[in-house]
Structure 1
Amino acid sequence: MPKVIDHDERRREIVEVAKQIILKGGFEAATMRSIATEAGFANGALKHYFPGKDSIVAATFESILAEMEAAAYAPVSDDAGERLRHFLRTPLPRTEEEIASGRVVLALWEHAMSNDELADLYRGFLDRWRIAFDRYLTAAKDAGAIAVEPPYDVLIDEYTSVVIGAAVVNLMHPDGSRVAAYDRYLDGFLARLG
């Protein structure tokens, strides 16, 4: 009887390999050949799972963004203030894995400048994040956990810029040495809202 292959699992494995290659060598290092070799496939075998490098890159980008969203929106408490804190803390890279994912996203940003599909993926992520951020702020205001009045656009823009900046800083400090500074910033940001 032939061996049953889980094609979705194989795609996930290929995406994980692509993440590691991009992390170590940047976007240009993630060639079809290097991905196939690292994943243990024959050179042409990747085409059974992805038609080309761009589709692997898009799947890698989607995977990282989905992980970030799942972590940010995870139910952590019935308290609206705690949910807001969790939501705001999640995109600030803290662990080795989060810092690595952020560094891969940075490598993919440059490619997104010339790839409309990747740019649309990231814009969609940012749009969903802004909407969710507004909802978390509104819920915290309604529960009395924060005092600041809507509209929240300026606060959302400020925090988004800090998160993106944190990803860039971690490119230079992948050891996590800036995590304590992000915690202090988050505490100060929430204090201003209170």
Structure 2
Amino acid sequence: MPKVVDHAARRRELAAAVWRVIARDGVAEVSIRTVAVESGWSSGALRHYFATRAELLAFACEEVIATVTRRLENLRPEGTAREAVEVLLCETMPLDERRHLESSIAFAFLALGLGDPELARVQRLHFTGMAGFCLQLVPHLLPAGADHQRAARRLHAVVDGLTVHILAGHLTPDEAVAELAAYLDDLGG
């Protein structure tokens, strides 16, 4: 009987290997060879799923986006609307090791997407997803009739800015959470 292979699971396994290489060595060290070594696969077997480094990176970032999205969908924060929004936004920020890795991967696409259309597509996916998420949250903070689109853009910029500051070591996670809380308080009036 032929062996049944779960190709989706194999692709997720390779994405996890990419994440480990990035966590340990940085995104510049991701290659077909380094991911093959990390996953215990041959380069030829890996190329069966991903022909290029760009395809491999794009899938790994798409998996990060999907992972964070699933986590957000399953989260049921308690408290006031303002408190719930803060909890949800904190799930997108690098406040612990897991979320730091997720943010590192997602934000690596800022530079990588400049020279590669496939990676630029994933970068846009990340940004449009986060923009849409902020737009969903803003009505819980502002009254009807307020400019929700503009407030969502600003909220997105604040969250991304705080994320970059944590990744760069300019703010600690606790400092960033305090800044986010202050911004949400200001936004809510």
TM range, smaller chain: 0.7 to 0.9
Contact 1:27–1:108 under 8 Å retained in 2: no
In structure 1, how many angstroms separate the alpha carbons of the residues matched to 2:69 and 2:58?
Answer: 16
Alignment partner of 1:191 is 2:159: no
TM-score by length of 2: 0.83
In structure 2, how many angstroms separate the alpha carbons of the residues matched to 1:73 and 1:181?
Answer: 26
In structure 2, how many angstroms separate the alpha carbons of the residues matched to 1:98 and 1:6?
Answer: 27
The structural deviation recorded for 1:64 is: 1.1
In structure 1, how many angstroms separate the alpha carbons of the residues matched to 2:144 and 2:183?
Answer: 11
- Give SS of 1:163's match: helix
Alignment partner of 1:74 is 2:74: yes
**1:178 aligned partner:** 172
Contact 1:26–1:107 under 8 Å retained in 2: no
RMSD between aligned residues? 2.6
Point out which structure has higher relative CO (alpha carbons under 8 A, 6+ apart).
1
1:94-109 aligned within 5 A:
94-109=95-110
**1:129 aligned partner:** 130
In structure 2, how many angstroms separate the alpha carbons of the residues matched to 1:40 and 1:114?
Answer: 30
2:165 pairs with 169, 175, 188, which one? 169
**2:152 aligned partner:** 156
Could you tell me which runs of 5 or more consecutive residues in structure 2 were left unpaired when the two chains were aligned.
none
The structural deviation recorded for 1:105 is: 2.3
TM-score by length of 1: 0.81
Contact 2:91–2:99 under 8 Å retained in 1: no
CA separation of 1:191 and 1:181: change in aligned 2, threshold 3 A: same
Between the aligned residues of both structures, percent identity stands at: 23
In structure 1, how many angstroms separate the alpha carbons of the residues matched to 2:157 and 2:184?
Answer: 16
In structure 2, how many angstroms separate the alpha carbons of the residues matched to 1:63 and 1:113?
Answer: 20
- Give SS of 2:174's match: helix
Contact 2:89–2:159 under 8 Å retained in 1: no
CA separation of 1:170 and 1:20: change in aligned 2, threshold 3 A: farther
Alignment partner of 1:50 is 2:50: yes
**2:89 aligned partner:** 88
- Give SS of 2:131's match: helix
State the aligned residue count: 187
Greater shift in the superposed pair: 6-15 or 159-168: 159-168
Could you tell me which runs of 5 or more consecutive residues in structure 1 were left unpaired when the two chains were aligned.
none
- What amino acid is aligned across from residue 182 of structure 2 in structure 1? G
- Give SS of 2:74's match: coil
Contact 2:68–2:92 under 8 Å retained in 1: yes
